[in-house]
Amino acid sequence: MSRGRSDEKATQQVSFPPVALGALRCPHCLSPFTQPGRSLKCETGHSFDLARQGYVNLLGSGVGDTKEMVAARFDFLAAGHYAPLARLVAHEAARDLRRDGLVVDAGTGTGYYLGAVLARAHASTGLGMDTSTAALRRAARAHPAIGAVVWDLWRPWPLQDQSADVIMNIFAPRNLAESHRVLRPEGTLLVVTPDSTHLAELRDHLEMLNVDADKLTRLDSSLQSQFSLTGRHDCEIELTLTPQDVHRIVHMGPNAYHVPPTALDAIQSSLTVTAAFVVSVYRREA
């Protein structure tokens, strides 16, 4: 009896959300998928196994953020440091999601923000794409309605035309042509970027990467032919970071490759810093 329940539970853990499955297409032949058992198969015979954590690797390889970077990000976000940003993202994304709609998180990482959206939009489904298998192991479990896919955002996406209500791009590469193709008419593209003042106090102590002050201007310019700006919101969060928090915030992104360990070791007490973000909301034009 107990073994039967365990087998049933294991099967449920690798079930791909139906709405997300319906939006996917085979990267080889562009055919739709079905899910017989624990794999996704297209009508021409291409098959992709679901990992036991629930994600599917359509890329055939996995690169991107390392296991250590993903663990640092997961722990930092789980502590609630960026919860105000998650609430703002969820508010903006959820109001443009139709019932039974799909939100695609391009560069989902651990699925933290996508999970926040789905917690607010209960009848919707999420599909998160990332190149990091380590991140998608977490993302697939961030919410029951998330389908997680290993994919390179610079390649044509394995998604049907006009299949998404909302596409989120949070600190990730932006493939604007694919975003336009995959969004439904007048769908929403939500982009989160760091403000030029983001973590400025921490940069006084560490040689971290700078944020381009012209980022928003360049973003709007790149989008203007296919999207129109409908809203922009600043989000500033005052944080008190312990030395362990500082270690995590450095190692959860590309700064991990630039800040020497000796500089981190020199921080022995808590620091008060300001996290500053800009949430830009665009509407897909015809």
159-169 residue pLDDT tens: 999 999 999 99
Residue 8 clears pLDDT 50, i.e. is over it? no
CA distance 89 to 189: 11
For 53-284, the fitting CATH number among 1.20.1250.20, 3.40.50.300, 3.40.50.150, 2.60.200.30 is 3.40.50.150
Strand-pair partners of 48:
40
Domain ranges of the chain: 53-284
pLDDT for residue 4: 46
Task: Give the pLDDT mean for 95-124.
Answer: 95
pLDDT of the residue at 169: 97
User: What value does the mean pLDDT of the chain take?
Assistant: 92
The edge-to-edge listing of strands for the beta sheet with 164-170 is 55-57, 146-150, 125-130, 102-106, 164-170, 183-194, 271-284, 227-241
Please state the rounded mean pLDDT for residues 257-279: 93
Question: What are the structure tokens assigned to 4, written together?
Answer: 């039967």
For 204, list phi and psi in degrees, rounded to 5. -70, -20
Q: For 216-235, what is each residue's pLDDT tens digit? A: 999 999 998 899 999 999 99
So what's the pLDDT on residue 213?
A: 81
Residue with tokens 């990992």: 51
pTM above 0.85, yes or no: yes
Q: What is the mean predicted confidence (pLDDT) over 135-143?
A: 96
Give the pLDDT band of residue 112 (cuts 50, 70, 90).
Answer: very high
- For the segment 79-105, the average pLDDT, to the nearest whole number, is 95
pLDDT of 135 strictly over 90 = yes
Q: Please tell me the least confidently modeled range out of 25-34, 87-96, 175-184, 250-259.
A: 250-259
| pLDDT tier at 212, thresholds 50, 70, 90 | confident
Question: How high is the pLDDT of residue 208?
Answer: 87
Lowest mean pLDDT of 55-64, 116-125, 128-137, name the range.
Answer: 55-64
Q: What is the pLDDT of residue 12?
A: 47
CA dihedral sign of residues 154, 250, 245, 198: negative
Which residues touch 133 (CB under 8 Å, ≥6 apart)?
51, 55, 57, 62, 64, 150
In 61-152, at which residue ranges do the beta strands (DSSP E only) sit? Answer: 102-106, 125-130, 146-150
Residue 214, pLDDT > 60, answer yes
